[in-house]
Amino acid sequence: NKNQIPTPAAYHVAENHVYSEQKAWDLQRSHWTSGTVYHILKNEKYKGTYVGAKFIMPVPCKHRVLRAPLEQQVRIEDSHAAIVTPEEFEQAQKVIMLQHGKHQAGNYTKHQYPLKGKVYCGYCQKLMKYRVLKKLGPSFNCRFSATAVDSPCKRIPISEELLEEIVRNALTAQIKQAEHILEILRERERKALICFSALERQEEKLSVEKAEIVKQRVALYEQYADGNMSKEEFIRQRAAYRVQEDERMAQIQQLRTEKNRIFQPVKKDADNLQTVVSAVEESGDVMHLSQNVVETFIDRIEVFNDERVKIHFTFEDTLNSYEEK
C-alpha cells in the first residue's frame, strides 16, 4: 500500500477488464489486505500450475457448488509461464504453516461443512460467514453487522457444534411428526379401502342387475319380432325396462363418485407424505448432517440473539397442511 502497488481489483479496473457496473465494487477493494496477500501466496497458478475441476455439486441438480477436495482437482504442471519457481512457492507454504499452523497450509475442503451456505442472520437476512474463532471454535457469525450501527446483529456468533445439534433435534422432531401423520393417513387409507371394497361389491351387484335387464329387454324384442306380443305391450314393457336400466346406471355412477370422494384424497395425501418419509430413507442417517441430508430437508436457517434459531424445512408446508387436516 505504501508503494501504491495496484491490487488485482484496481489493476483489472484500470485495464478495462471488468464491466462498468462492477467498477464501483472493485474499487472498494483497491486496498491490500492480509487476506488478499495470503490468497496470492496460496495460488498455484503463479508457479505455472493449471488447476481445474475446483468445484463440485455435492447433490445433483441442487445448484449448490462447493470447493472440491484436493484429490479430486485436476492439476497440470508447467501449463503456462511461472512468476515464481516451485521452490519459492513451497518455501512460502512452509512459512505460512509455521506462522499460522498446519490448518492454514492444509486443504480447506478436506472437511465439508454441510450447513455452509444455509445459515443467515435473522435480522439483516445476510448469509453468515463460517469462521474459526478462538473462543467458540468453528462457528457462523454475521459479518455485515459491523457497518450497521443500529442493527441488532452485533456480529452474533453461533458455534457450528451447537447449530448442528439444534438442526439435528429439529429435523428428528420433524421426521417423527411426518411418520406419525403418515401412520394416521395409512389408517384412514385402510378404513377408506374397506368402504371402497364395500362400494365395489355394490357396484358389481348393480352391474349384474343392469346386465340382466338388458338381457330381458333383448328377449322382449325377440318375442315381439316373433309376433308373440302386441306393439302396445312391447312399447310399455320396453319403457319399464329402460327406466330400471337408467335407475341402475344412476346408482352405479353415484357409487363411483362416492368411491372417488372417500378413497382418492386420502390415498393422494398418503402418497405425497410418503415422499417425505422416502426422502429420509434415501438421504441417509439424519443424525449425521451430510450434504445430502441438508440439501434434502433444509432450505435456510436464520440465527437470532440468545442462540434462537429458525429453520425453514423443505417439507414444512406439506407437513403443516396435513397436520391441519
CB burial of residue 13 (10 Å; 0-12, 13-18, 19+): buried
pLDDT value, residue 109: 45
Our CA dihedral for 280, 285, 286, 288, rounded to 10 degrees, sits at -160
C-alpha distances in angstroms, 67 versus 33, 72, 108, 109, 154?
Answer: 23, 10, 9, 6, 29
User: φ and ψ at 33, to 5 degrees?
Assistant: -125, 165
CA dist 48 and 76 (Å) reads 9
Say what the pLDDT of residue 174 is: 76
Calpha distance 213→239 (Å, rounded): 12
Residues 6 or more apart whose CB falls under 8 angstroms from that of 146 comprise 155
- The domain segmentation of the chain, as residue ranges, is 164-324
Residue length, the chain?
Answer: 325
Rounded distance, CA 197 to CA 202, Å?
Answer: 9
Q: Work out the burial of residue 102: count CB atoms within 10 Å of its CB; fewer than 13 is exposed, 13-18 middle, 19 or more buried.
A: exposed
What is the predicted pLDDT for the residue at 317?
A: 67
- In angstroms, how far is CA 308 from the centroid of its own chain? 23
Residues in the chain predicted with pLDDT less than 50, given as ranges, are 103-110
Whole-angstrom Cα distance, residue 249 to residue 257?
A: 12
User: Alpha-carbon distance 154 to 212, whole Å?
Assistant: 83
Indicate if the alpha-carbon torsion angle 194, 195, 199, 202 is positive or negative.
Answer: positive
Question: In b/e form, how buried is each residue of 14-46, taking b as 16+ CB within 10 angstroms?
Answer: eeeeeeeeeeeebeeeeebeeeeeeeeeeebee
Q: What is the pLDDT of residue 103?
A: 47
Task: Identify any residues that bridge with 151 across adjacent strands, giving them in sequence order.
Answer: none
- What is the torsion angle, in degrees rounded to the nearest 10, for the CA atoms of residue 53, residue 54, residue 56 and residue 62? -110
Cα–Cα distance measured from residue 273 to residue 262, given in angstroms and rounded to the nearest whole number:
18
Is residue 145 within 8 A of residue 121, CB to CB? The reply is: yes
Q: List the grid coordinates of 137.
A: 471454535
Bin 124: left if φ > 0, else alpha if -120 < ψ < 50, else beta. Answer: alpha
The H-assigned helical ranges of the chain are 8-14, 20-27, 34-42, 86-100, 102-105, 160-225, 231-283, 291-297, 316-324
User: pTM of the predicted model, to two decimals?
Assistant: 0.46
**CA distance linking residue 153 with residue 141, whole number of Å:** 9
Is 164-324 assigned to CATH 1.10.287? yes
User: What is the pLDDT, as a whole number, of residue 272?
Assistant: 65
By percentage, how much of the chain surpasses pLDDT 70?
72
Question: Does residue 55 sit in helix, strand or coil?
Answer: strand
